[in-house]
Chain A
Amino acid sequence: MNILEQKIRAAVAQKRTALIPFLTAGFPDRSSFWPTCMELDENGADIIEIGIPFSDPVADGPVVEQASRQALSEGVNLRDTLDELRQRRGLFKAGIVLMGYANPFLQYGYTRLAQDAAAGGVHGLIVPDLPYEESGPLCEALHKADIVLIPLVGPNTDTARMRLYAKGEGYVYVVSVMGVTGARDRLPVQVVETMKRARSVFSQPLALGFGLRDPTQLAAIPVEARPDAVVFGSALLSHLGEGGTATEFMSRWR
């Protein structure tokens, strides 16, 4: 079983929802990024998603876009991030996933990316602008390095399209809203239907993301439609941006 799936299954076995914080590389600033990752790791993160900044993040709302822009202005890039991961290999208990747009990965070269990501202890990749139709070449390169490509599905992904992604490993990222990343006060009602449909198609664990702000949002979802894991990005970035700590943020969710 893929290690990301193992991490989530282990949490579920402990009767808890696995926690997947998202942090843009170089945020809140270059020097405190890695200590913040360690803090997330020590405070209950089952998987950490590291965002690779991109100039044109079409799936992201203002909080992640701003973090991305700030990181780019400080010179954060994929090469350095992979290099820094390699130096920290073995330090994280959590699974490590890179989330970034297709073009920086493409320019780096898929084969080289797969090799360097494996050397950095990366277990999975999420590429929000790489739908099934365009995912073949990257999937192939990652497969050789034993890294999985995590698919995203959403409220408008019908059963037939979900099936296209069903062969994958790791987990499935279920987008809760018809929209971009960013914390919302409440989740839309159709999240229940989306989760049930995903559950009927996928054998991989389901991680719910986009729009999550605090754990009470999950309580509103009927048990049979609850996710195995939750991803929170914008809410964490905002909390850190306002001077809060990762420890405080994680304590709300544990």
Chain B
Amino acid sequence: MENSYFGEFGGCFVPELLMPPLLEVEAAMREILPTEDFQRKLHDLLHNYAGRETPLTYCPALSSELGFDLWLKREDLLHTGAHKINNTLGQALLAKYMGKTALVAETGAGQHGVATAAAAARLGMDCTVYMGAEDVERQAANVQRMRLLGAHVQAVESGTRTLKDAINEALRVWITCQATTHYCFGTAAGPHPFPTLVRIFQSVIGRETRTQMLERAGRLPHAVVACVGGGSNAIGMFHAFLEDKDVRLIGVEAAGTGESGCFNSAPLNLGTPGVLHGSYSMLLQTEDGQVEPSHSISAGLDYPGVGPEHAWLQKTGRVHYGLVKDANALAAFQRLCRCEGILPALESSHALAWVLDHPQEFTAGDQVVVNLSGRGDKDMDIVNKALGTPREALS
């Protein structure tokens, strides 16, 4: 196995029975992924199926209110509504080249499940999505979407009945079906080589943004901001800027409801190092090493772990990781709807909220890019519950 660590974080903490399929993925990354044939097919899928490249949108109203220039990278405009499709098309295509006929995936809110189901349908593969039973109940629309796209959705009843347990179950199932099946992991976490594989497929976000900023603003941004759950949209955005030392990189974790000791999804800020789902990274856990339940109003950030490369980027100081509470994310959600006519995902609303809540960090003329990783249509039930149904909508 090649170097599986980012500094002291990462690794491959899995049962021996999962080592052969992980080594197989590693070999495919080395031998298939760089080929012209693979790259051409992936490019075609991303551009002519998923809708790349995505726009970089300048926000005139918010920029004027804030006193600096705010830009949004519009991953929300991608097919299936979020950046997740960058990764699922890449992994599904790779799996196809590897001779696999089926995909398994985990999903929390359902976005990665929908994106995997779409990629599987497009490439003619079977697809089974594991989803915590509680998520199946609260994300019924996405369950329906996955089923329409031909995926089998399996409700996971064990543990906390959420994303963490869906990953456990998908790993267990992958042991049994590895000969025919690729595990299409949804975020830049998990055992090596997934943190690297997912980052490779998501890095298109940052590469495009960098080029677009140079064309549109004539310079690199002063700061780039992205929300961090597992961390795939953030690592995809940050990676192209890592060597640009003048570009501030800010990841935003979900602080939950915000009172002291509340459940949250902020292992980088509030956790300790530990092993979950195959990698050593920051983790919400007890002193005994039992994984603690997480919480966020945004289902896509609701995870007690985080990708190991983020733990390393935090440790080196290259990326600053901030915190945003549920209520502030909701406020940012509303403000973007009204000011710019864009309905962001609650995940991405966390990234935007950090900027709106920290105007003192920037000065006039600063160029700030927020990764708008997904659209908020999926969050209508949660938003309506939190804010009440908008009055106009009732008339």
Contacts and interface: CB of A to CB of B under 8 A. Distances in A.
A121 to B, nearest CB: 22
A175 interface: yes
B175 A178 contact: yes
Interface string A190-229: 0000000000000000000000000000000000000000
B313 interface: no
Contacts of A166: none
Contacts of A62: 158
Interface string A93-107: 000000001111111
A107 B287 contact: yes
Interface string B269-280: 000001111101
B97 to A, nearest CB: 21
B90 to A, nearest CB: 25
Size bracket of the A interface: 35 or more
Contacts of B4: 133
Contacts of B288: 77-79, 104, 107-108
Contact of B17 (A55, A77, A156): A156
Given A55-B159, A56-B168, A104 B14 contact: no
Contacts of A56: 159, 164-165, 168, 276-277, 291
B274 to A, nearest CB: 5
Interface in B239-282: 274-278, 280
Contacts of A3: none
A154 interface: yes
Contacts of A153: 16
A157 interface: yes
Contact of A151 (B1, B16, B280): B16
Contacts of B289: 54, 78, 103-108
A245 B276 CA distance: 35
Interface in A145-162: 151-158, 161
B285 A129 contact: no
Interface in A97-148: 101-108, 128-134
Contact of A106 (B14, B274, B277, B291): B274
B172 A107 contact: no
Contacts of B287: 107
B271 to A, nearest CB: 12
A52 to B, nearest CB: 10
Nearest to B290: A55
Interface residues of B, number: 34
Interface string B1-12: 100100000011
B313 to A, nearest CB: 22
Contacts of B119: none
A129 B17 contact: no
A189 interface: no
A156 B178 contact: yes
B164 A130 contact: no
A58 B168 contact: yes
Given A56-B277, A58-B168, A179 B176 contact: yes
Interface in B155-169: 158-159, 164-165, 168
A66 B164 CA distance: 16
A128 B175 CA distance: 13
B175 A103 contact: no
A180 interface: yes
Given A55-B159, A134-B12, A107 B285 contact: yes
B19 interface: yes
B14 A131 contact: yes
Contacts of A151: 16
B176 A178 contact: yes
A180 B16 contact: no
B228 interface: no
B58 interface: no
B290 A152 contact: no
A133 B193 CA distance: 13
A93 B137 CA distance: 51
28 contacts: A54-B290, A56-B159, A56-B291, A58-B14, A58-B172, A59-B15, A59-B172, A62-B158, A77-B288, A78-B288, A78-B289, A103-B275, A103-B283, A104-B288, A107-B274, A107-B285, A108-B289, A129-B14, A129-B15, A130-B13, A133-B4, A133-B19, A152-B16, A153-B16, A156-B20, A157-B19, A157-B20, A179-B172
List the 9 closest pairs (A to B, CB-CB), nearest first. Answer: A107-B289, A104-B289, A103-B289, A103-B275, A55-B290, A59-B15, A55-B291, A154-B17, A77-B288
Interface of B: 1, 4, 11-17, 19-20, 158-159, 164-165, 168, 171-172, 175-176, 178, 274-278, 280, 283, 285, 287-291
